[in-house]
Every structure is written in structure tokens, then in C-alpha cells.
Amino acid sequence: MNRRECNTLIAKSIIGTTVVPNGIMSYKRKGKILRKGSIIGLVAPAGFVDKERLEKTIANLDHLGLKYKYSDNLLRKHGYLAGPDSMRLNELHDMYADNNIDGIWCVKGGYGTTRILDYLDFDLIRKNKKPLIGYSDITALLNTIHQKTGSPCFHGPIASSTLTDYTNHHLAPIFGLEKHHSILHSESNKAKGLSEDIYSFSTINSGKATGDLVGGNLTLLVSLLGTKHEVKTKNKLVFVEDVGEAPYRIDRMLTQLISAGFFNKVKGILFGIFVGCEQKNEHKQKLQEVIHERIKRLHVPSAYGLSFGHTDDQCTFPIGAKASFDADSGVVVLLKDGY
């Protein structure tokens, strides 16, 4: 896409007519939530973005009643990255520094966020707190930025995701919660679970727990171990998902987290839907068998198959928000004013 095409797309930015899901909005915590008409800064801090993905992003934001802003660099490509590290870092910093930007939404995951963590300007971010939204590789940014600055970060769909009714409904946290928000299983994912094991819900360890939410993509959580950006999990509800990994690789990563003490003193462990991680050879261990075997020994409330991860129907978890979790039903409740 050339500069003229980019400018044409920018010119199409309008306030949509669709009401924010559930009508749940709050104006009490400026800088921590969004509302209809908020301006979203679009960034690609990891993998590169193509024109089709950008067009889908714009359609999503129009539908949600959000405005948007991005630079020509959004469509840059540098190998498998969305431009050189310094450029992607500067794009993110510019969005935080821009007083006209109300929130930042990552257009894509992929790989690349861990390359810029050491160079983030946490003072800049701390002085310009605003919502950051994404998942997958964005896990590294969400947890690091929230831990270092307290700036609001949301593990939810990327801006170019397919926004189903379920996903829209559970975007509510980014617009502010006026009451407790319950997250139940997606009916679509539940139906898939009748025939596909990776979509089926199962309790690993029974029980209920309350704590602050942290977590995200398993591969990224492992990659942060031993760094100054390692995710702090003591007394937390830890949520985990991954995509396209064979069960033995999930086993290896969970084993590393366990050996590193990552799950020591956690309140509960929530596993999402591990799309593409099923075992197709009937003579080998299935994904859920691996996860149950690894986690059962930890004796904390835990369950597999909650509706988040690389699936169309996915909920949004505010990093650091207080929530309750029932491992027997799989229901998560985001607590009012818990962020």
C-alpha cells in the first residue's frame, strides 16, 4: 500500500453507530478505559501487517464506534517483523506520547515483542497511561508494561481478530465495568468440544480462588523466565494458552515453568483453548492428558478449556485485575473496580 492509499484509509475513520457491547461504559477513571469515539493508536510491535489485515482492523473499529490513527510504518516489513526493532519501538512510544490517543491496539501478534522489552521507556509510559490491547506475542508487552508502570493492559483480541458476538460481549472490560462481569464458556467452543478434545472443558483440580490476573501465551511466559521481565505470579490467578505446539512441547514448557517455581504460591491456573495442539497419533499422549498430568500435582484450583486463546470466541482479561475463578464450572468473574 502506498502513502496515498494509507491516507485514504485514514480519511475513512468515522465514529461507528454500534453501541459498545452491553452498554457498559465508565467515565470515572480517565486514561484507564475507552468509550465510544475514543481514538485508538494502531501498532504492529511484532509480526508484519498486510493491507487485508489493516482493512479488517478498520472495519472492526468502525463497528465498535472507535476512531483510529496509525502511521505509514504500520505496513512496513523487515523479514518476519513489522519493521526494524528501533522503528517498532518508536511507533509504540509515539502512541503513548500522543495526548490525542486514548488507547493502543495491536493489529497482529507473531514474533518480535521480546526484542524491544529492554528498550521500553517506562517513565514515558507511566506518565501517559492508556489501555494496551492484544494477545499471543503481545503477552510480553502486556505483563511487562503493567508490572513496571501500572498502565492498563488487556489480554484480548488483536485489532484484526474476528469479532464474534461472544468476543464483542467480553470486550466490556476495556470500556470499564460498572458491575461484576461473568465469563462463561462460549457456546460455539462448547459445541466443538463434543467432537474435538482441545475445545472440551475439564477440571484439573477442583476449588475456587480469587486473585489478580496475569499470564498469556505459554511460549512467551517461558521466554521471559530468568529475565528482568519475568512475570510475577505469587498470589495471582495465572491464565495460559498457546497455538500450534505439539503436546510434548507443551509438556516441556510446563515442566520448565514448574521447575522454575513459576506456579509456586499461585491462587489458580486457567488454561484456554490450545488451538492446533492436538495429538493426531492415537498411540501418543493427548494434549489434555499432558496438561492434567503436569498440573494435577500442584494442588491449586485449575481447569482447561476456558474461552480464550487463538480462537474466534475469546474473552478479555485485564492484566492485574482482581477476579474469582471456579475450577469446577470454569466460570471467571471480573470484580467491579478490581482493576
- Our answer to whether residue 136 is catalytic in this structure is yes
What is d(CA 333, CA 184) in angstroms, rounded to the nearest whole number? 9
- Our answer to whether residue 5 is catalytic in this structure is no
Instruction: Please tell me which residue in 38, 302, 310, 324 is annotated as part of the active site.
Output: 310
Outline where the chain has alpha helix (H).
3-11, 51-64, 85-97, 122-127, 139-149, 165-169, 187-192, 218-223, 247-259, 287-296
DSSP secondary-structure letter at 81? B
What is d(CA 126, CA 155) in angstroms, rounded to the nearest whole number? 19
The CA angle 179-184-186, to the nearest 5 degrees, is 130
Compute the half-sphere exposure of residue 98: CA atoms within 13 Å on the CB side of its CA. Answer: 19
- For 231, phi and psi rounded to 5 degrees? -75, 130
Strands 39-43 and 67-69: parallel
Instruction: Please tell me which residue in 241, 292, 307, 324 is annotated as part of the active site.
Output: 241
Instruction: Please tell me which residue in 38, 91, 93, 136 is annotated as part of the active site.
Output: 136
What is d(CA 216, CA 20) in angstroms, rounded to the nearest whole number? 25
- Our answer to whether residue 206 is catalytic in this structure is no
Outline where 34-109 has alpha helix (H).
51-64, 85-97
Do the Cβ atoms of 67 and 40 come closer than 8 Å?
A: yes
Secondary structure of residue 161 in the 3-state scheme? coil
Just list the catalytic residues.
136, 241, 310
